[in-house]
């Protein structure tokens, strides 16, 4: 919810004024006293000569500061959001500033541009302000203190309605980040399922398959991954029907939900193993995205499918060398139990294609360490059997600055996944190209040529460092990208 005010509040600690590149601003609502105007103007004079940074600050009284925020005349689509994020970061320098009046109408832009700018600016501010504090018991007050923005504008209604979309996306992103941040002893597949079930309240149709049902369906690739864990394995489908009676084919989003990846019998090294709690991030993006569809009543039919499982060693765990029969009927030789994400997705992909006959399938997974070697923490890997879908994803990614880089698929890489004694093996030790061969493996489980894209988000889902729209930790990478894709091309 946004809050508004008609003039400079008595109890606010700061005012934010927006200036153009030439340091022009308006006082359209005549809220600035002569004294304040003079102070701002003389400050701006010094800024002009120094060509000061993007955001600067002066005192306008002994209790109130004024932030001068410079806004470019021409900008890329994600600029307003990142500016909002930058303003939030800037405010962290001032521990005592908790109430800020944002003088939106001071920006010298036409009405439509101004409305759009501010709904996005505030959305960026909010995305950056995310915290995950539920397990902090000390200094509760300080930990939970928030900055309160009040907007000064005569376009209240328009900004509010424009902001609605961003609010829904933010809720989706925050839900994704919350799920990814939860420790693995709390977020087991079962508690995860319970979180997903709660989404029914919003009008999403949730169906959960337990181990018994998965066995009956023949999802042995997925089940094999969870075999060593005391926690039960699940598959959940989440449907959003926002486009009644017209085009029936839904858009499908599939996510890897490995609640913890020890590697199984092919055990991972201890160092940084704790990071493997975020191996469910792909599924969390799907869940957050579907939540945002419901919140904003997106005019689209969509389905999310997530495989939820814990990869543990144990006396009943899957062994390297085991052969499992997947839902598709294809047999898989499991050479390495740490290449488990693809086993989860194999069944989830074939099931999604068969059951929902979707227009396309996009899967998201923290699938390979190799994608971090290739693209680091800048780009997600994109793989696709369809140029049109792929190009749309790239455009949407450019719009929101959640970057993707397309990597190739090729029959020669595909061949590397042939097994000597089964239809396919889950890892290739000799051929290199770890992320590509993983994608080739997935492609073998798209049986009816459905347009499909795979996003390997292993480098993007979690970051120790803060970025323009997140404070570090779980990023929610993918929710904004796919929301934009759907909004631009499918609504
Ligand atoms: N969950 C990991 C991939 C991963 C690594 C995600 C680092 C995030 C950060 C995946 O299940 C895995 O272990 N992949 C193996 C595959 C290998 C055994 C072929 C890998 O990347 O080492
Ligand atoms: Zn693994
Ligand atoms: Zn994994």
Q: What confidence tens digit (pLDDT) does each residue in 423-454 have? A: 999 999 888 999 999 999 999 999 999 999 99
Query: Which-ligand-closest: CA of 278?
Result: 1
Choice from 260, 268, 341, 368 to test ligand 1 binding pocket (greatest atom count within 8 A of CB)? 368
Q: In what order do the strands lie in the sheet with 331-334?
A: 322-325, 331-334, 424-425
Question: Residue 373: is its pLDDT beyond 70?
Answer: yes
- Mean pLDDT value across residues 408-428: 98
CA of 258 to the centre of ligand 3 (A): 6
CA of 368 to the centre of ligand 1 (A): 4
- Mean pLDDT value across residues 245-265: 93
CA of 491 to the centre of ligand 3 (A): 33
Q: Is 463 helix (H, G, I), strand (E, B) or coil?
A: strand
User: How far, in Å, CA of 403 to CA of 361, rounded?
Assistant: 19
- Mean pLDDT value across residues 327-331: 98
Confidence of residue 52 (pLDDT cuts 50, 70, 90): low
What atom in ligand 1 is closest to the CA of residue 279? Answer: 1
Q: Which pLDDT value is given to residue 72?
A: 94
**149 Cβ contact list (under 8 Å, min separation 6):** 2, 3, 100, 101, 102, 122, 125
Q: What confidence tens digit (pLDDT) does each residue in 23-45 have? A: 999 998 899 999 999 999 999 99
- The residues carrying an active-site annotation are 268, 342
Confidence of residue 47 (pLDDT cuts 50, 70, 90): confident
**Running DSSP on this structure, what letter comes out for residue 4?**
B
CA of 301 to the centre of ligand 2 (A): 32
Q: What confidence tens digit (pLDDT) does each residue in 175-220 have? A: 999 999 999 999 999 999 999 999 999 999 999 999 999 999 999 9
Question: Closest Cα to residue 326, out of 424, 236, 234, 409?
Answer: 424
User: How far, in Å, CA of 175 to CA of 429, rounded?
Assistant: 37
Q: Which pLDDT value is given to residue 445?
A: 98
Choice from 342, 369, 425, 454 to test ligand 1 binding pocket (greatest atom count within 8 A of CB)? 369
- CA 221: distance to chain centroid? 27
CA of 316 to the centre of ligand 1 (A): 22
Structure tokens at 120: 């996005």
H helix runs in 304-459, sequence order:
341-356, 370-375, 387-400, 411-415, 434-443
What atom in ligand 1 is closest to the CA of residue 461? Answer: 8
By the 8 A CB rule, do 266 and 179 touch? Answer: no
Q: Whose CA is nearest to atom 13 of ligand 1?
A: 338
CB-based pocket (< 6 A), ligand 1: 261, 279, 336, 338-341, 366-370, 427, 434, 458
**Running DSSP on this structure, what letter comes out for residue 444?**
T
By the 8 A CB rule, do 393 and 367 touch? Answer: no
Question: Residue 9: is its pLDDT beyond 90?
Answer: no
By the 8 A CB rule, do 69 and 16 touch? Answer: yes
Question: Residue 245: is its pLDDT beyond 80?
Answer: no
What atom in ligand 1 is closest to the CA of residue 426? Answer: 19
Choice from 285, 338, 345, 432 to test ligand 1 binding pocket (greatest atom count within 8 A of CB)? 338
DSSP string, 223-251: HHHHTT-SSPPEEEEEEEE-STTS--PPE
Task: Spell out which residues have Cβ within 5 A of ligand 3, the ion.
Answer: 258, 261, 279, 341
Enumerate the β-bridge partners of residue 205: 239
Query: Which-ligand-closest: CA of 371?
Result: 1
Helix (H) or strand (E) segment spanning residue 452: strand 452-456
Confidence of residue 388 (pLDDT cuts 50, 70, 90): very high
Query: Which-ligand-closest: CA of 456?
Result: 1
Query: Which-ligand-closest: CA of 428?
Result: 1
Q: Which pLDDT value is given to residue 176?
A: 98
Q: Which pLDDT value is given to residue 405?
A: 98
CA of 337 to the centre of ligand 3 (A): 9
Dihedral of CA atoms 239, 245, 249, 254 in degrees, nearest 10, equals: -10
Q: What confidence tens digit (pLDDT) does each residue in 70-87 have? A: 999 999 999 999 999 999
Confidence of residue 246 (pLDDT cuts 50, 70, 90): low
Please tell me the pTM assigned to this model: 0.97
**419 Cβ contact list (under 8 Å, min separation 6):** 331, 332, 333, 425
What atom in ligand 1 is closest to the CA of residue 258? Answer: 1
What atom in ligand 1 is closest to the CA of residue 266? Answer: 18
φ and ψ at 109, to 5 degrees? -135, 165
Question: Residue 58: is its pLDDT beyond 90?
Answer: yes
- Looking at every residue in the chain, the average pLDDT score rounds to 96
Q: What confidence tens digit (pLDDT) does each residue in 289-314 have? A: 999 999 999 999 999 999 999 999 99
Q: Between β-strands 331-334 and 360-365, what pairing exists: parallel, antiparallel or unpaired?
A: unpaired
Question: Residue 143: is its pLDDT beyond 90?
Answer: no
Q: Which residues of 174-184 are buried (b: 16+ CB within 10 A; e: fewer)?
A: bbbbbbbbbeb
Q: Whose CA is nearest to atom 7 of ligand 1?
A: 369
Q: Which pLDDT value is given to residue 204?
A: 98
CA of 8 to the centre of ligand 2 (A): 55
Q: Which pLDDT value is given to residue 48?
A: 84
Question: Residue 247: is its pLDDT beyond 80?
Answer: no
Question: Residue 336: is its pLDDT beyond 70?
Answer: yes
By the 8 A CB rule, do 452 and 446 touch? Answer: yes
Query: Which-ligand-closest: CA of 338?
Result: 2
What atom in ligand 1 is closest to the CA of residue 366? Answer: 6
CA of 339 to the centre of ligand 1 (A): 6
């Amino acid at each position: 919810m946004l809050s508004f005010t008609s003039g400079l509040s008595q109890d606010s600690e700061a005012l934010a004024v927006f200036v153009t590149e030439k340091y022009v601003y308006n006082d359209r609502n005549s809220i600035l006293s002569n004294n304040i105007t003079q102070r701002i103007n003389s400050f701006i004079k010094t800024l002009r000569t120094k060509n000061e940074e993007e955001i600067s600050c002066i005192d306008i009284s002994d209790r109130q500061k004024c932030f001068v925020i410079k806004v470019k005349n021409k900008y890329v689509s994600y600029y307003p959001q990142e500016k909002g994020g930058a303003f939030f970061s800037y405010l962290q320098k001032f521990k005592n500033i908790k109430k800020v009046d944002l003088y939106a109408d001071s920006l010298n832009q036409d009405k439509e541009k101004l409305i759009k700018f501010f709904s996005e600016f505030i959305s960026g501010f909010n995305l950056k302000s995310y915290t995950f504090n539920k397990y902090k018991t000390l200094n509760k007050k300080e930990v939970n203190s928030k900055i309160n923005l009040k907007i000064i504008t005569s376009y209240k209604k328009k900004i509010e309605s424009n902001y609605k979309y961003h609010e829904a996306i933010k809720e989706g992103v925050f839900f994704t980040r919350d799920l990814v941040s939860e420790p693995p002893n709390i977020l087991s597949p079962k508690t995860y399922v319970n979180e997903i079930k709660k989404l029914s309240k919003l009008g999403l149709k949730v169906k959960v398959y337990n181990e018994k049902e998965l066995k009956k369906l023949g999802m042995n690739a997925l089940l094999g991954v969870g075999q060593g864990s005391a926690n039960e394995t699940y598959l959940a489908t989440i449907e959003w029907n926002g486009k009644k009676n017209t085009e029936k084919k839904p858009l499908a989003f599939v996510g890897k939900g490995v609640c913890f990846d020890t590697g199984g019998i092919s055990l991972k090294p201890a160092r940084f193993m704790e990071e493997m709690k975020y191996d469910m991030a792909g599924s969390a993006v799907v869940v957050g995205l579907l939540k945002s569809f419901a919140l904003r009543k997106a005019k689209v039919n969509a389905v999310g499918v997530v495989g939820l499982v814990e990869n543990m060693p144990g006396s009943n765990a899957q062994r390297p060398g085991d052969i499992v029969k997947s839902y598709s009927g294809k047999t898989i030789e499991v050479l390495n139990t740490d290449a488990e994400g693809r086993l989860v997705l194999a069944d989830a992909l074939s099931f999604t294609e068969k059951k929902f006959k979707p227009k396309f399938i996009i899967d998201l997974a923290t699938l390979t360490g190799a994608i971090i070697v290739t693209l680091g923490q800048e780009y997600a890997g994109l793989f696709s059997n369809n140029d049109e879908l792929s190009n749309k994803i790239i455009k949407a990614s450019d719009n929101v600055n959640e970057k993707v880089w397309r990597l190739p698929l090729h029959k020669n890489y595909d061949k590397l996944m042939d097994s000597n004694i089964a239809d396919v093996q889950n890892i290739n030790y000799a051929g290199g190209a770890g992320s590509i061969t993983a994608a080739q493996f997935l492609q073998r489980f798209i049986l009816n040529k459905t347009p499909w894209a795979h996003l390997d988000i292993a480098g993007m889902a979690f970051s120790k460092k803060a970025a323009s729209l997140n404070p570090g930790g779980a990023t929610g990478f993918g929710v904004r990208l796919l929301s934009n894709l759907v909004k631009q091309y499918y609504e």
